[in-house]
């Protein structure tokens, strides 16, 4: 199983070196950092750490993920944020159900794992739980988290024809996969405060509201 680890990054120069040093050898065949229009040394730091850098100047979380998908060679794709809030070694846990042919997509749940104090503000937790509840009501998905740390079979992701290029990308992936009858499983993962800087989503109420709106819009868009 060839695995491509895709890390979208916007101004994450302070986080990438320690994060990439934690990626265990042999878990991923390639590590791709997608620089999403950074104004700092994100790309240079990623290259120094041995990652393959893809430049995507069109800003948007989904734009960065789509650029990583287009560049990746693996038949299994892993997505992980570039702020160091997830533990790279736990990628092994997200790959196991795919290796055992027990899933088409595996979502890492911060709610079921060990969330460090202060890692996620209360307003972000509420928004996340709201969307998870809607996914259950509208699509029958039993998840506790939207889980941006995830793995998915390449052929499935390509078949989804992803159209959402903002923070709605992860939920669009879930919704479209559910509508296709894909087998989605959830595993617990750890979550810790970002390694440097402030979160672009949970760091401010405004950022959380905008991200929640885009995610909510994507959630209900495909009901019919």
- Can you give the CATH number for the domain in which 54 is found? 3.90.550.10
pLDDT of residue 117: 86
- Give which of 160, 178, 181 is closest to 169, Cα–Cα: 160
Helix (H, G, I), strand (E, B) or coil at 163: coil
Strand 105-109 and strand 52-55: the pairing is: unpaired
Beta carbons within 10 angstroms of residue 1's beta carbon: 10
C-alpha pair distances (Å), 48 with each of 19, 53, 121: 13, 10, 32
Extended strands (E) in the chain: 3-9, 30-35, 52-55, 76-79, 105-109, 150-153, 184-188
Averaged pLDDT for residues 152-178: 95
- The span from the CA of 160 to the CA of 9, in Å, is 23
- Asked if the model's pLDDT at residue 189 lies above 90, the reply is yes
Beta carbons within 10 angstroms of residue 119's beta carbon: 18
Q: Which domain, by its residues, includes 194?
A: 3-221
Extended strands (E) in 69-166: 76-79, 105-109, 150-153
Phi, psi values for residue 104, rounded to 5°: -100, -25
Report the percentage of the chain scoring pLDDT > 90: 77
Assess contact for 179 and 159: CB atoms under 8 A: no
> What is the tens place of the pLDDT at every residue in 19-58?
999 999 999 999 999 999 999 999 999 999 999 999 999 9
Provide CB contacts within 8 A for 155, sequence distance 6+.
75
> What is the tens place of the pLDDT at every residue in 80-103?
999 999 999 999 999 999 999 999
pLDDT of residue 180: 94
Q: Is this model's pTM higher than 0.95 or not?
A: no
pLDDT of residue 120: 86
Structural domain tally of the chain? Answer: 1
Q: Indicate the pLDDT class of residue 201, thresholds 50, 70 and 90.
A: low
Assess contact for 59 and 9: CB atoms under 8 A: no
Residue 151, classified by CB atoms within 10 Å of its CB into exposed (0-12), middle (13-18) or buried (19+), is buried
């Amino acid at each position: 199983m060839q695995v491509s680890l895709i890390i979208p990054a916007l101004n994450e120069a302070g986080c990438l070196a320690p994060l990439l040093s934690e990626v265990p050898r042999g878990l991923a065949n390639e590590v791709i950092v997608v620089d999403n229009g950074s104004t700092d040394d994100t790309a240079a730091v990623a290259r120094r750490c041995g990652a393959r850098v893809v430049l995507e100047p069109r800003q948007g979380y989904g734009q960065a993920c789509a650029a990583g998908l287009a560049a990746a060679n693996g038949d299994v794709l892993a997505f992980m944020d570039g702020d160091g809030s997830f533990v790279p070694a736990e990628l092994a846990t997200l790959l196991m159900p795919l290796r055992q042919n027990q899933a088409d997509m595996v979502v890492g749940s911060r709610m079921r794992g060990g969330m460090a104090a202060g890692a996620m503000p209360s307003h972000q937790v509420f928004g996340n739980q709201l969307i998870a509840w809607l996914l259950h009501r509208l699509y029958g998905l039993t998840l506790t988290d939207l889980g941006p740390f995830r793995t998915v079979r390449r052929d499935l992701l390509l078949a989804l024809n992803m159209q959402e290029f903002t923070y709605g990308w992860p939920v669009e992936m879930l919704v479209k996969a559910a509508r296709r009858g894909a087998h989605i499983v959830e595993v617990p993962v750890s979550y810790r405060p970002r390694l440097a800087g402030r979160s672009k989503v949970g760091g401010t109420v405004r950022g959380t509201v905008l991200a929640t709106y885009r995610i909510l819009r994507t959630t209900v868009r495909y009901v019919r």
